[in-house]
Structure 1
Amino acid sequence: MQRRGLLTLMASAPLWASGCAALADGRAAEASPATLRGTGDLGVVIQRARGAVTVVNTSDRSLLGEITGLGDLSHASVVFSRDGRYAYVFGRDGGLTQVDLLRERIVHRVMQAGNSIGGAVSADGTLVAAQNYVPGGVKVFDAKTLELLADLPATYGNGQRSRVVGLVDLPQRRFAYSLFDADAICIADCSDPTRPRVHTLEGIGRQPYDALVTPDGRHYIAGLFGEDGLAMVDLWEPQPKVRRILAGYGRGQQPLPVYKMPHLRGWAVAGRHAYLPAIGRHEVLVVDTTTWQEVGRIPVAGQPVFVMARPDGRQVWVNFAVPDYDRVQVIDTPSQRVVDTLRPGKAVLHMEFTPRGDTVWISCRDDHLVRVIDTATRQTLATLAVDAPSGIFFTARAQRMGF
């Protein structure tokens, strides 16, 4: 019995050391709440002008700390480890930084390219992939150490390099991405990252500029900047091929100048419909996801940038390019009409819903604040001071394909 008791005490020692403090009379005190924190209600806000991120708590609607030294974040993107503890920050200068959200510090940082615009984490959480403009291609890293495992140059023509956009994770350690300059979509199988296999679909349409994968992982859809329409790949087919959808949605209308490229990863799939930003138009397209045919259009205040569904799909929130980027509109999906127009602040750059959609966090760059709004009442619940905020990313993304 004494030996069993000693073994039990030895096994519990790490938990005792990290979770309790011994008192003089032998009792144990619980650790301070500041020392124990789950990752499910954490997130980061990009400070685009300072090369820093602010760590936030979405339940308390509070700022926890700041992590600096992340380089050029003028166009930054973030993905998370599967347990939500680590954020991987992709900077415009090609820097990839692994950040510990609990300890609020940099763990690893590598300068992996000359110009990077985002990345993805593999389905099993072991790989981090970066999409690069310069040099054009994708690099794959070990998620724990940021050791380079694979380099996938996006070559075409006579050895030219294409800018890579629309990188998403797929099941079974695969990734899909688009080549802006080569008019192609690539599917990379990194089951063995030392021997990656890349399947390229060419002639998909002119200048794919961003893309998404549907929540079930079946359809990869790339928007086309060079022409009306989108390119879609059914990834469940034995031999995936490209299908054009929504071809000519702007046909017969006067083209408008595009003030800011829409971000398609924010496209909303709500119920059986997808809500998509129409390039250069003051409209949100409504698409039936069973037929991939357009079934409606919703007039909005300006050129949509992000079109994002509340997690329950009942609402879709839209922000806009200049000169309308002080506004946010709310679409009611059953009626498919705008039911509210908000003016949360100057230069609204991004929105992010809490995991169950009770609030939405909105970055207002020129007001240097993040506004937290109740999605039911549209009332402001908190206003948080953040220097030049842009992207907002919550750890719930770690459990969503394509985010």
Structure 2
Amino acid sequence: MTRLAALLMCSVLAAPALAQELRATGDLGVIVERATGSVLIVDQSERAAIGRVEGLGDLSHASLVFSPDERFAYLFGRDGGLSKIDILTQQVVGRVIQSGNSIGGAISDDGKLIAVANYEPGGVKIFDADTLEELAHIEADGKALGLEDAAGRKFVFSVWDTNETKIVDFSGAEPVVTTLSDIGANPYDALVTDDGRTYIAGLFGEDGLSAIDLWAEVPEVKRILPHYGRGQEEMPVYKMPHLEGWAKAGDQIVLPAVHHHEVLWVDARTLEETGRTAVHSQPVFAMARPGGRHVWVNFAHPENDTIQVIDTMTHEVIGEMVPGPAVLHMEFTSRGTEAWVSVRDENKVVIYDTTTLEPIGEIEVQSPSGIFFTARAHRLGL
């Protein structure tokens, strides 16, 4: 056998082994294990865990975003920790403690900047996505919440204490900050619609919500749903509802009501209320299945063992499941065929077929909360 033939034969024999070592990222996800400072790397097709990454600090209120190539997860911990995780090698490749108390973050639309919202010292810090070097501190006189990415290398966030929303533009040599005052009392969370046009902030201190048209040459605050909320009645709220970009279903925006046992339907163009659906208890997440046909809702303590499914055409509840105590989060596979549901108090994630609403799998996870699939890398507001 000639030397060339021998080399070719070696290449052929090595190819299958190499192929087994390679893994694409499009089928992967990350589940936060909130009590142990760790995350679980999962494979959607296998419906199984493939690794665990530990040493990530306080994850009692943690979220993450993905790099555009889906390889890196940027994890935001409650202790101010910003961790960069390689989900293929399952290693922490960067970590900084950037504040005393943080509450989530975002990645710019070009994937170059990581923004972190802070309670203490307040404001938002911006980091280089490659190195985690701090690039800027957008100061604010209070707690930063509702941090979202927007088109054109922009971030938008609100300030609980000063009732402001700030739009931060990083498209030029220096960041340009536009401050909109009187956003409403105590903005607590926000969403950006998937087209990047509308930022909606929920208000804890008064009735109604506030919306900003980010496409406008001069963005202004518009009050919407003025008769909805908690402000006129002091009512207990066991867990704040979350607003996110996934709550847009077709030409409707679906919002979990503060305290009230209902979800709200809003026309995405006019921002006028179009209906309400009575639900099991206080909703936390109202998440639209990809395609927008159904919305899945989970609930606050003490009635947090249940999920309901709502038809977006009729606004009626068409299904109800009881996965177990403390359902904290849900995530759909990219085309919406499955829903993964974290059940914290039974240390498991239950996987449902979204057509039959029947469970089709289960993964053991330590005190699971947030579930994040890499398809998020390609959507604004996530």
TM over 0.5: yes
- Counterpart of 2:373 in structure 1 is 394
**Deviation, structure 1 residue 61:** 0.9
2:171 to 181, 191, 207: 191
The structure-2 alpha-carbon separation of the partners of 1:183 and 1:29, relative to structure 1 and needing over 3 Å to count, comes to same
- Counterpart of 1:167 in structure 2 is 147
Whether the 8 Å CA contact 2:117–2:124 is kept in 1: the answer is yes
1:203 is aligned to 2:189: no
2:269 to 290, 301, 310: 290
- 1:305-362 alpha-carbon deviations (Å, 9 max, x no partner): 0000000111000000011100000001111100111101110000000000000000
Aligned-partner SS, 2:110: coil
Structure 2: runs of 5+ lacking an equivalent: none
Aligned partners of 1:126 and 1:228: how far apart in 2?
37
1:179 to 139, 159, 174: 159
- Counterpart of 2:92 in structure 1 is 106
Aligned partners of 1:131 and 1:42: how far apart in 2?
26
- Counterpart of 1:318 in structure 2 is 297
Letter in 2 for 1:143: A
- Counterpart of 1:235 in structure 2 is 214
Aligned partners of 1:152 and 1:329: how far apart in 2?
39
Q: Please tell me whether Structure 1 or Structure 2 has the larger radius of gyration of its CA atoms.
A: 1
For normalisation by structure 2, the TM-score amounts to: 0.95
**Deviation, structure 1 residue 288:** 1.1
**Deviation, structure 1 residue 23:** 5.5
**Deviation, structure 1 residue 22:** 7.5
Aligned partners of 1:25 and 1:82: how far apart in 2?
32
- Counterpart of 2:345 in structure 1 is 366
Whether the 8 Å CA contact 2:194–2:245 is kept in 1: the answer is no
Aligned partners of 2:226 and 2:121: how far apart in 1?
31
The structure-2 alpha-carbon separation of the partners of 1:33 and 1:245, relative to structure 1 and needing over 3 Å to count, comes to same
Aligned-partner SS, 1:29: helix
Whether the 8 Å CA contact 2:309–2:320 is kept in 1: the answer is yes
**Deviation, structure 1 residue 113:** 0.6
The structure-2 alpha-carbon separation of the partners of 1:330 and 1:124, relative to structure 1 and needing over 3 Å to count, comes to same
Aligned partners of 1:237 and 1:42: how far apart in 2?
37
Whether the 8 Å CA contact 2:324–2:346 is kept in 1: the answer is yes
Letter in 2 for 1:327: T
Structure 1: runs of 5+ lacking an equivalent: 1-8, 10-20, 155-160
- Counterpart of 1:130 in structure 2 is 116
Aligned partners of 1:256 and 1:148: how far apart in 2?
41
Letter in 1 for 2:56: L
Letter in 2 for 1:343: V
The structure-2 alpha-carbon separation of the partners of 1:390 and 1:252, relative to structure 1 and needing over 3 Å to count, comes to closer
1:376 to 351, 355, 359: 355
The structure-2 alpha-carbon separation of the partners of 1:234 and 1:252, relative to structure 1 and needing over 3 Å to count, comes to closer
Aligned partners of 1:23 and 1:134: how far apart in 2?
61
Aligned partners of 1:269 and 1:236: how far apart in 2?
18
The structure-2 alpha-carbon separation of the partners of 1:64 and 1:242, relative to structure 1 and needing over 3 Å to count, comes to same
- Counterpart of 2:130 in structure 1 is 144
Aligned partners of 2:56 and 2:160: how far apart in 1?
27
Aligned-partner SS, 1:325: coil
1:278 is aligned to 2:264: no
2:314 to 335, 354, 363: 335
Aligned partners of 1:225 and 1:115: how far apart in 2?
20
2:236 to 245, 253, 257: 257
Whether the 8 Å CA contact 2:204–2:231 is kept in 1: the answer is no
1:60 to 34, 41, 46: 46
- 1:262-316 alpha-carbon deviations (Å, 9 max, x no partner): 1111651111111111101000011111211111110000000000000011100
- Counterpart of 1:42 in structure 2 is 28
- 1:189-232 alpha-carbon deviations (Å, 9 max, x no partner): 11246x21111000111000000101110111000000111010
- % same residue: 56
Whether the 8 Å CA contact 1:350–1:362 is kept in 2: the answer is yes
Whether the 8 Å CA contact 1:266–1:307 is kept in 2: the answer is no
- Counterpart of 1:29 in structure 2 is 15
Letter in 1 for 2:52: E
**Deviation, structure 1 residue 26:** 6.8
Letter in 2 for 1:378: L
Letter in 1 for 2:150: L
For normalisation by structure 1, the TM-score amounts to: 0.90
Whether the 8 Å CA contact 2:193–2:245 is kept in 1: the answer is no
**Deviation, structure 1 residue 29:** 2.8
Letter in 2 for 1:291: T
Aligned partners of 1:395 and 1:252: how far apart in 2?
37
Aligned partners of 1:24 and 1:211: how far apart in 2?
56
**What is the RMSD of the two structures over their aligned residues, measured on CA atoms?**
1.8
Aligned partners of 2:359 and 2:12: how far apart in 1?
48
The structure-2 alpha-carbon separation of the partners of 1:181 and 1:324, relative to structure 1 and needing over 3 Å to count, comes to same
Aligned partners of 1:148 and 1:252: how far apart in 2?
38
The structure-2 alpha-carbon separation of the partners of 1:249 and 1:386, relative to structure 1 and needing over 3 Å to count, comes to same
- 1:77-124 alpha-carbon deviations (Å, 9 max, x no partner): 100000000000000000000000000000000010111111111011
The structure-2 alpha-carbon separation of the partners of 1:137 and 1:58, relative to structure 1 and needing over 3 Å to count, comes to same
Letter in 2 for 1:183: N
1:305 is aligned to 2:305: no
- Counterpart of 1:87 in structure 2 is 73
| Larger CA deviation: 215-224 vs 287-296 | 287-296
Whether the 8 Å CA contact 1:209–1:224 is kept in 2: the answer is yes
